[in-house]
Amino acid sequence: MNERTEAPSLSSTAQAYWEQRYRDHPRPWTGRPNAILARWVRSLTPGTTLDLGCSEGNSAVWLARQGWRVTGVVISATALERAARHAADTGVSACTSFEQHDLERSFPAGQFDLVYALYLQSPVAFPRDAVLRRAAGAVRPGGLLLVIEHASAPSWVRESKVEYPSAQEALGAIGLDLGGWDLVFLGTPERPVTEAASPDGQGGTIKDNIIVLRRRGR
């Protein structure tokens, strides 16, 4: 008989929310990275990278396969276990490390060549701008900070109740002293959404804010 071990006690609302979400909705493993991230890293020499809110590790494991040493951070123990298992199954355990943090409370140590946050957004209270400011501090001089966030509802939503910031507003909200950074890219491109992901099977489009900054110095 299989015994179910008791779930660990969850220390915050955010942790409880995300843990339940990952337990209830395991996602099929794709091993495919976020397409925008993949485009940006193509021109970079592999080094060290930090994935904030790495979910089940699709992008992190893909980057490890490209030669990066990856630290992935996620709040849910279930997502973390899945990410570590995918790394092991793919043969990249040696160059990945997955850490459980509530980024509101703790943050991984070290500095990285690339720090990225892909849709690090949450329906429960989350001090996202402060976390991104801290993330910027984890970029080594000469390294890149890449932030991708939702900037619109999908095109089939007629009246969205959410107000999305412009890319400029999103950058301003992080509150960085831009004197120490070169702005590599700031924009809100539109991308297609597949037929399968749209309710009417017709597909559509959606917008993302993309912020790419290079920290000055060497």
Ligand X SMILES: C[S@@+](CC[C@H](N)C(=O)[O-])C[C@H]1O[C@@H](n2cnc3c(N)ncnc32)[C@H](O)[C@@H]1O
Residue with tokens 């999103």: 170
Q: Does 149 bind ligand X (CB under 6 A)?
A: no
Least distance in Å: CB of 200 to ligand X? 23
CA quadruple 83, 125, 161, 52: dihedral, nearest 10: -30
**What is the CA angle 217-171-161, rounded to 5?**
160
Least distance in Å: CB of 78 to ligand X? 10
Closest CA to 62 of 30, 109, 25, 110: 30
In a 3-state reduction of DSSP, which class is residue 39?
helix
Q: Does 19 bind ligand X (CB under 6 A)?
A: no
Q: Does 53 bind ligand X (CB under 6 A)?
A: yes
Count, residues near ligand X per rule CB under 6 A: 20
- Window 61-80: contact mask with ligand X (x via CB under 6 A): ------------xxxx--x-
By the 8 A CB rule, do 108 and 48 touch? no
Q: Does 209 bind ligand X (CB under 6 A)?
A: no
The two counts, helices (H) then strands (E), for the chain are: 6, 8
Q: Of 123 and 179, which CB lies nearer to ligand X in the complex structure?
A: 123
Least distance in Å: CB of 71 to ligand X? 13
φ/ψ (deg, to 5) at 39: -65, -40
Q: Which residues of 24-58 are buried (b: 16+ CB within 10 A; e: fewer)?
A: eeeeebeeebbebbeebbeeeebebbbbbbbbbbb
The correct pick among 67, 119, 178, 216 for binding ligand X (CB under 6 A) is 119
Q: Does 135 bind ligand X (CB under 6 A)?
A: no
Q: Does 34 bind ligand X (CB under 6 A)?
A: yes
By the 8 A CB rule, do 22 and 76 touch? yes
Q: Does 20 bind ligand X (CB under 6 A)?
A: no
- Window 87-106: contact mask with ligand X (x via CB under 6 A): --------------xxxx--
Q: Does 126 bind ligand X (CB under 6 A)?
A: yes
Q: Of 9 and 45, which CB lies nearer to ligand X in the complex structure?
A: 9
Least distance in Å: CB of 22 to ligand X? 7
Q: Does 122 bind ligand X (CB under 6 A)?
A: yes
Q: How far apart are CA 116 and CA 72, in angstroms?
A: 10
The footprint of ligand X (CB under 6 A) covers: 14, 18, 34, 53, 55, 73-76, 79, 101-104, 118-122, 126
